[in-house]
Amino acid sequence: MSQTLLCRQIDQVNVLVFVCAFAERLFITIMAEISLTLPSGEQKTVPAGITVAEALKELVSNKERKQTIAARLADRLVDLSMPIEADAAFAPITVDSPEALEILRHSAAHVMAEAVLALFGKEVQVAIGPAIADGFYYDFDRAEPFTPDDLVLIEAKMQELAAVAAPFRRETMSAAQAIELFEKSGQTYKVELLRDLAADTVSLYRQGDFVDLCRGPHLPHAGWLKAVKVIKMAGAYWRGDENRKMLQRLYGTAFFDPKDLKAYLYQLEEAKKRDHRKLGKELELFAVADQVGPGLILWQPKGALLRKIIEDHWREEHYRNGYELLFTPHIAKRDMWQTSGHLDFYGENMFSAMEIEEVSYQLKPMNCPFHIAIYNTRKRSYREFPLRWCELGTVYRFEKTGALHGLMRVRGFTQDDAHIFCRPDNLEEEIFNILDLNLHILKTFGFESYEVYLSTRPEKSVGSDEHWEQATAALKLALEKKGLAFEIDPGEGVFYGPKIDIKIKDVLGRSWQCSTIQVDFNLPERFVMTYTGEDGKEHQPIMIHRALMGSLERFIGVLIEHYAGAFPVWLAPTQARIMNITDAQSDYAEEVYAELRRAGVRVEKDLRNEKLNYKIREAQMQKVPYMLIIGDKEMEAHQVTVRLRNGDNLPAMSISEFAALIAGENEAGRTGACNS
Ligand SMILES: [Zn+2]
Ligand SMILES: [Zn+2]
């Protein structure tokens, strides 16, 4: 081996050693730094293993950091104490983030459980405590029921714990260790949850003396709970199972800002005052009777009148917009429900069959097959399209007794239904027309703020790709043409076609699902519907299902709460109440009453021998828009003095002038002029 060769070999060894050392250093450097991608797209390098809180110090301003309670790391929400081990997308969750309230409220639930255990000791078992839409709850198993005084104590204890500001600490351990821990403290519900979880490792959160099985994340410490309220209690079965134990559920809510809590509690109070069940009773609009059965609404005279006004308005508007009116029966042969697919897909919502002359019949849960039966009474041609058929159709659906709620959730209700049969190329225009009528009618009732959703094809569905694409595009175009902002709900369409849902916002800002517009490729197929096209061949029509108000019952429930029972004049079942000051004006009052009724004014009389102030107060309680007061002066002048429900007075006027005033208000209401 020559000298040079040897040298070269040594060199190579040296180089190799050098390269290895460099690589090792490089490797260590790679291991020790990770890259975080911020919401702006900017990438920042931080040491691996650093906690979220430490990373925030390097990544965001002090001001933002102080408002940060958690972070989104990749797709996961994590605590500030969580170490970051790998490259990831990173976003701070500040108090203004949409996810922040849920973290606050879930943490509040833990603190509520801590407070309950601190106050009521070992006799209490804790079950589960999630955040929900407007707050949070926690379920407790305690022999003695909580009293309203207890709720006050619990809230005070929570505030006390918040002031201590104990940190929420995350621990992970094996499920077996966690089971042992909860068995030791006698928390059998947690043990059951852990056994069912069948996980190897689980996370627990500890704050103060309280420990809970929990995925997290949580607030850094309880001191963030500056605005917390325990609201009410209710019974709730363990795991929603009526065969398991009934637990006591305590509801609460929490906000970052005490001002927000105050506003929420005010709204809650307002909602209570406006509760349609309470007002329905006070204003004698509707009732339910044990003898008749739950969820079956009895419309009292005033409620029936209100409903008639709404129905008349609805029918007139539809007729004017090219709809024809239908009436169909309440029962149909079971066979029809087999063909429609309702028995297979909707059977559990239907009432049991009844036998008539050895044939099975069923109460209708929907009106659609009846309208199809009318379609199929004869051959149809493209020339008569689009067919727009509407019906205020009463349907019956099974709901569990526990789910029933006033007018909002019932067993028998009247849908403001319509079906449109048309060609595929009519679709966009028809949807546009429906939206137009829909928004117009909602506006006449005082609703002008909406949330609109377009739901697209779900995984399980019928119909061709081409049909789905066409129909979805038509719905979208119609929404855009109408200038409506909407959100897309991917995969949330019905199995038979895409749909548009419209939620209305009431005066308290609450959303109510009312209108729905659904394209259907399924029923025309099932019922072998056809029409003769321009080409002389048979085709399958497109079917659109559509409801504007949803159901009359529910819509009237929403109306009662929206107006707090003080309906606008055109809707008020009683528009005016006549009151005499003394018996001396009785005859004249009767005359006014008869004349106004003849003029179409919805008028009542209160000619009792009572003080005028008493009569006025009663009329105000009944939210009657106009009080017509008659004394000697009015009698002599052949006039009435008009008092408004807010206490203001109009100048005295003649009977015909008052009738004209009402006619004007009716017109303004029906056309929506008073709401623009
Ligand atoms: Zn938790
Ligand atoms: Zn339908």
pLDDT digits (tens, 9 = 90+) for 107-154: 999 999 999 999 998 789 999 999 999 999 999 999 999 999 999 999
At residue 25 the predicted structure's pLDDT band, cuts being 50, 70 and 90, is low
In the residue annotation, 379 being an active-site residue is answered as no
| Model confidence pLDDT, tens digit, residues 35-63 | 999 999 999 999 999 999 999 999 999 99
CA 413 to ligand 1 centroid distance, Å: 40
Question: What are 580's two structure tokens?
Answer: 């005499």
In the residue annotation, 226 being an active-site residue is answered as no
Among all bound ligands, the one having the nearest atom to the CA of 211 is 1
pTM (global) more than 0.75: yes
CA 441 to ligand 2 centroid distance, Å: 20
At residue 504 the predicted structure's pLDDT band, cuts being 50, 70 and 90, is very high
Residue 472: its pLDDT value, please?
94
Report the alpha-carbon distance of residue 277 to residue 316 in Å, rounded.
Answer: 29
Does the structure show a pLDDT above 50 at 1? no
Catalytic residue selected from 79, 139, 416, 417: 417
398 three-state secondary structure: coil
Residue 122: its pLDDT value, please?
72
The answer to whether the CB of 531 falls within 8 A of the CB of 381 is yes
Among all bound ligands, the one having the nearest atom to the CA of 368 is 2
Which runs of consecutive H residues, i.e. helices, occur in 171-292? 175-184, 188-197, 258-273, 276-282
Report the alpha-carbon distance of residue 638 to residue 594 in Å, rounded.
Answer: 14
Catalytic residue selected from 214, 368, 390, 422: 368
* Percentage, residues of the chain above pLDDT 90: 88
Mean pLDDT, range 246-250, rounded to an integer = 97
Residue 231: its pLDDT value, please?
96
**Beta bridge pairs of residue 363:** 331
Residue 675: its pLDDT value, please?
58
In the residue annotation, 545 being an active-site residue is answered as yes
205 three-state secondary structure: strand
H or E segment and range at residue 235: strand 227-237
The answer to whether the CB of 663 falls within 8 A of the CB of 671 is no
CA 540 to ligand 1 centroid distance, Å: 54
In the residue annotation, 606 being an active-site residue is answered as no
In the residue annotation, 499 being an active-site residue is answered as yes
Catalytic residue selected from 274, 380, 411, 545: 545
Does the structure show a pLDDT above 90 at 23? no
Residue 16: its pLDDT value, please?
47
In the residue annotation, 150 being an active-site residue is answered as no
> Beta 169-174 vs 131-132: how paired, if at all?
unpaired
At residue 17 the predicted structure's pLDDT band, cuts being 50, 70 and 90, is very low
In the residue annotation, 505 being an active-site residue is answered as no
Catalytic residue selected from 397, 605, 615, 623: 397
| Model confidence pLDDT, tens digit, residues 189-219 | 999 999 998 889 999 999 998 999 999 999 9
Q: 206 to each of 170, 171, 211, 213, 246, how far by Cα in Å?
A: 7, 8, 4, 9, 27
Does the structure show a pLDDT above 70 at 24? no
Closest CA to 630 of 577, 581, 576: 581
| Model confidence pLDDT, tens digit, residues 294-315 | 999 999 999 999 999 999 999 9
User: What does the H/E/C string look like for 421-453?
Assistant: EECHHHHHHHHHHHHHHHHHHHHHCCCCCEEEE
CA 457 to ligand 2 centroid distance, Å: 18
Report the alpha-carbon distance of residue 518 to residue 527 in Å, rounded.
Answer: 18
